[in-house]
Amino acid sequence: MAVAAELASAVDIAANLARVRAEIAAAARAAGRAPETVTLVAVSKTQPAEAARGALAAGQRVFGENRVQEAEAKYPALKAECPDLQLHLIGSLQSNKARAAVALFDVIETVDRPKLARKLAAEMAALNRWPRLFIEVNAGGEAQKGGVLPAEADALVALCREELKLPLDGLMCIPPLDQEPSPHFALLAKIARRNGLAKLSMGMSADYPVAVALGATHVRVGTAIFGPRRAPL
Ligand SMILES: *Cc1c(COP(=O)(O)O)cnc(C)c1O
């Protein structure tokens, strides 16, 4: 594969960001929402730090990574260069990486089981660092996929908020790849509403305008900004 030919340049990244931001704003306005109510999370997984720098130069401040180790390789330097950079963990988290995740990320979007919630609570207290949290919901009920099942979501919300006193902001989902995403986005919004949670992380490159129409406060967009993904680092 001619990797070099596919590297998105800083110019491409700035143009792609402008287009994605404009589409988010249009979708928000069409839904009667202010564009500022939607946060764009630029997903830089598999991309070199240079790509994230291109986005930073274009004013982007919120980034997402799906693996702790890859983020540890790229983001401490970027955070030092840009102290208001906000980093979201959007990939599943093993309990043995909870401490490293708490140390690096500003938002962890993939809390999906009681054991992990308890581990995060312990590590946050130990490090005295309090990333904001989202619970990932397996909206499509897929086997082999991360996320708490919809029927178990309310109990996990209650555990996080009431027993563990965690800083829980909202819910996140990744709908099944082969299905229309809208019903899954609507289900996520419904679970959030009945639990009094204000934030919804949903929508990726293929479907973020639909997600905004259904209430997304965070969209996670990778390839539409950075171009095709590389082999995992
Ligand atoms: C990779 C990834 C994204 C971004 O996907 P694109 O289709 O490239 O926009 C969003 N969310 C999660 C959880 C991801 O792993």
- Per-residue model confidence (pLDDT) at position 11: 78
Does 163 reside within a domain?
Answer: yes
Domain containing 77: what range?
2-226
Does 42 reside within a domain?
Answer: yes
Does 180 reside within a domain?
Answer: yes
* Ligand 1 pocket check for 220: Cβ under 6 Å: yes
* Cα 167 to ligand 1 centroid, rounded to whole Å: 24
Residue 207 to residue 205: CA distance in whole angstroms: 6
* Ligand 1 pocket check for 222: Cβ under 6 Å: yes
Please list the alpha-helical segments (H only) found in 111-222: 114-127, 150-158, 182-194, 208-213
| Mean pLDDT of the chain, nearest integer | 95
Which residue in 123, 151, 124 sits closest to 139, CA to CA?
Answer: 151
Which CATH number does the domain housing residue 180 bear? 3.20.20.10
Does 231 reside within a domain?
Answer: no
Kindly indicate the confidence band of residue 232, based on its pLDDT and cuts at 50, 70 and 90: low
User: Ligand 1 atom closest to Cα of 90?
Assistant: 13
Does 64 reside within a domain?
Answer: yes
Q: What's the total number of domains in the chain?
A: 1
Residue 177 to residue 192: CA distance in whole angstroms: 22
Does 232 reside within a domain?
Answer: no
* Ligand 1 pocket check for 92: Cβ under 6 Å: no
Burial letters 77-112, b for 16+ CB under 10 A, else e: ebbeebeebbbbbbbbbeeebbbebbebbbbbbbbb
Which residues make beta-bridge pairs with 62?
Answer: 86
Does 24 reside within a domain?
Answer: yes
- Per-residue model confidence (pLDDT) at position 6: 56
**pLDDT tens figures, 69-78:** 999 999 999 9
Record the pTM: 0.95
Pocket test for ligand 1, best of 112, 212, 220 (most atoms within 8 A of CB): 220
Does 170 reside within a domain?
Answer: yes
